[in-house]
Structure 1
Amino acid sequence: MKKTFFSLVLAAIATFNLNAGEINVFAAANVTYAFDELKAEFAKTNPDTKVTVTLGGSGALTTQIKNGAPADVFMAANMKFVENLDEAGFSATRPIVYAQGMLALFSIRDIDFTKGIKAVEGLKAVAIALPESAPYGKASIEALKKDGIFNKVEKNIIYTKSISEALSSALSAADAGFIAASAMYDPKMAKYKEGKNFILVNPALYTPIDQGVILLKRGEKNPEAKAFYDFILSERAKEIFRKFGYNI
C-alpha cells in the first residue's frame, strides 16, 4: 500500500513538472497590444505554463538572440529577421507568416487627416521607428517616399527605437507618429477615433508587412514552447490578430 501511494506521489510530481513549465517568447513591439489576449487564450489549454514575453524592435531582438538571449519562440515584425536567424542556424522550424501588419498615422493634435499622410507636411516633429531595425519604420519611410513627400518632411522626423516608442512619442512631444495599426485596437486607445486621431495608411504605399514566427533551437525540446508556437499559427490566435487589426 505504502509503495503504491509513494508511486502515485512521484507520478503526480512528474506530471506537475511536465505541465508547469516556463517559456520565453521574444516578440516585435507591435504585438504588445494583442499579447494579453493571446496569453489568456493559450492559458485555457496550458494553465500551468508561464509565458514570459520580451518585447522590442525586431532587429534588436535578433541581435540579442544571436548573442545567446534565452528565447524559445521569436515573433518578428517581418520575415527578414526570422529568415536571418534560420540561415544562421538558430531556428528549429522554417519561418512562417503568422500575420500581416498594417501601418497607421496617429496624432493627438488637430491635423487634417483628409490629406492622407500628406497631413504630416508642415509638422515640426513626426515620430518614426528606426527603419534599419523596425519593419514598421521601414514601411513608414517607404510610404512617405512613394507619396512624394519624404524630402519635404525628412528634417522633421524623430526616430525612435521601436514602433511602441513611436506611439509614446506621438502621445507626448511629437506632432504625429507612424505606428502599428494594432495599437488603435487596444482598449486603452478607444477614445481615439479613426479620421480624427488616426488613419490607416494606404497599403499600396508600402510593401506588405509579413510578420514571421520561428521556434528557436533553445525551445526545440520544450513541449510547451512547441505548443505555444503551434498556438500562434492556430485559428484561435488568428481570430485575435484579426481583432487587433492584422490581415491574416
Structure 2
Amino acid sequence: MTRSGRRTRRIRRSLRASGAGAAVLLAFSACSPSTGSEQDADSAGSSADISGQVTVFAAASLKESFTTLGEKFEQQHPGTEVTFNFGGSDSLAAGITSGAPADVFASASPKTMATVTDAGVTAGEPSTFVRNQLEIATLPGNPEGISTLKDLTASGLKVVLCDQAVPCGAATRKALEAGGLELTPASYEQDVKAALTKVELKEADAAVVYRTDVKAAGDKVTGVDFPEAAEAVNDYPIAVLKGAPNAGAAKAFVELVKSGQGQRVLTDAGFRTP
C-alpha cells in the first residue's frame, strides 16, 4: 500500500473517532443538570408546587402596596389566591395569638411583632423589610397653614391621632415627646387609615399618619413634614407563622416582599428600605 493510501486511512479513522467523541459530548451535555433549560424547568416545577390560598395579616399602612404585591404573586403562581386582613397591628397580633388562621404576619412595629414571637407562633425569626415615617395630613391646600407639629396644639384645631396602642399612635407619642409637646386630639382612631379618613371626609383639620398614607391619598389631603418624625421611624417586620395552613406559599410571598421587585413596589409607595 502506498504512503498516500496509509495516510488516507489514518485520516478516516481520526474522523470517525472525532465523530464518536462529539456524539458522546452532545449526549453528556443533554443530560447535564447545569444547562439553562434544565434550571428553568426546575424553577417552573418549584413554582408549580405553590398553590392554594395564602392568608396575610398586615398593618393597615401596607394596604396599597401589599394589594399590588398580592396581584403580582397570583400572576407569578397561577392557582394561588392571596387573602389579606388589614388593620391595626395590635389587634392583628391579638387575633393571631388567639388562634386566628393565618400564614403571614407583617407588622408596623417590632413591639407588636414581639407579641406574636413571645407567644411562640412564628416560624423562625421575623425580619425587617421596610421602614416608615410620620407626616401630618391636612385638608387639601392646607387651609389652616399648618407647618409644624406644634401647630397641631393650637386652640380650635380639630386633630385626630392613631390610638396609642397601635404603632402609628406610639410613634406619634414619641414624636410629641421629642418636641416637648402635649396634644389632646379630638379622637383616637383604631388604625392609621381610620385617622386619615377623618381628614379625607373633612371631619378633622389634620391627622398624624404615615408618609405612605399621605402619598396613597393623592389630592384628598396635603402632607406636611416635621423634623420630630425622624425620632419616631418605625421598622416593619414580617414572618411566616408556625402551623401556617399554606407554609410553602407563605414563604414564597415573604420572598417576594423582600425581593428587588417587592422592594420597588414598597419604595414607590413611600416606604424606606431597612
TM-score past 0.5 threshold: yes
**Inter-CA distance 16–105: structure 2 relative to 1 (3 Å threshold):** closer
- Post-superposition CA distance 1:35-87 (Å, at most 9, x none): 22211222332132100000000000010001110110000001112222112
* Residues 1:29 and 1:16: Cα distance change in structure 2 (over 3 Å): closer
- Name the SS for the 2:207 alignment partner: strand
The one of 141, 149, 166 equivalent to 2:181 is 149
Other-structure match for 1:113: 146
The 1:84–1:16 alpha-carbon spacing in structure 2 relative to 1, beyond 3 Å, is closer
Distance change (3 Å), C-alpha of 1:126 and 1:225: same
Could you tell me how far 1:176 is from its partner in structure 2? 0.7
Structure 1: which amino acid aligns with 2:130? A
Structural mapping, 1:33-182, within 5 Å: 33-108=64-139, 110-114=143-147, 116-122=148-154, 123-132=156-165, 134-150=166-182, 153-154=183-184, 156-172=185-201, 173-182=203-212
Give the CA deviation at 1:160: 0.5
| Moved >4 Å (runs of 4+) | 15-19
> What letter corresponds to residue 149 of structure 1 in structure 2?
L
Aligned length: 224
Instruction: Report the residue type matching 1:51 in the other structure.
Output: V
Q: Is 1:219–1:226's contact at 8 Å kept on the other side of the alignment?
A: no
AA in 1 matched with 2:64: Y
CA 1:117–1:93: 2 relative to 1, 3 Å: same
TM-score where L is the length of structure 2: 0.75
Give the counterpart letter for 2:218 in structure 1. A
Higher relative contact order (CA 8 A, sep 6+): 1
**Residue matched to 2:218:** 190
Measure, in 2, the Cα distance between the counterparts of 1:40 and 1:175.
35
Report whether the alignment pairs 1:226 with 2:251: yes
Distance 2:172 2:47 in 1: 47
Give the Cα separation in 2 of the matches to 1:106 and 1:85. 31
Q: Name the % identity.
A: 25
Judging changes above 3 Å, is the alpha-carbon distance between structure 1 residues 55 and 69 closer, same or farther for their aligned structure 2 residues? same
Q: 2:204, 2:146 → 1: CA distance?
A: 16
**What is the aligned counterpart of 1:237 among 240, 243, 262?**
262
The DSSP-based 3-state class of the residue aligned with 1:27 is strand
SS in 2 for 1:131: coil
The letter for the 1-side match of 2:88 is G
Measured in 1, the distance between the counterparts of 2:99 and 2:87 equals: 16
Looking at structure 2, the residues matched to 210 and 139 of structure 1 have their Cα atoms a distance apart, in angstroms, of 11
Unaligned stretches of 5+ in structure 2?
1-45
- Which has the greater radius of gyration? 2
Any unmatched runs of 5+ in structure 1? 1-14
Match for residue 8 of structure 1? none
Query: What TM-score results when the alignment is normalised by the length of structure 1?
Result: 0.83
Instruction: Give the conservation status (yes or no) of the 8 Å contact 1:102–1:245.
Output: no
Task: Check the 8 A contact 2:123/2:239 in 1, yes or no.
Answer: yes
How many Å apart are 1:227 and its aligned residue? Answer: 0.5
How far the C-alpha of 1:202 sits from its partner, in A, is: 2.4
Does residue 62 of structure 2 align to residue 31 of structure 1?
A: yes
Asked whether the equivalents of residues 92 and 217 of structure 1 are also in contact (C-alpha less than 8 Å), the reply is yes
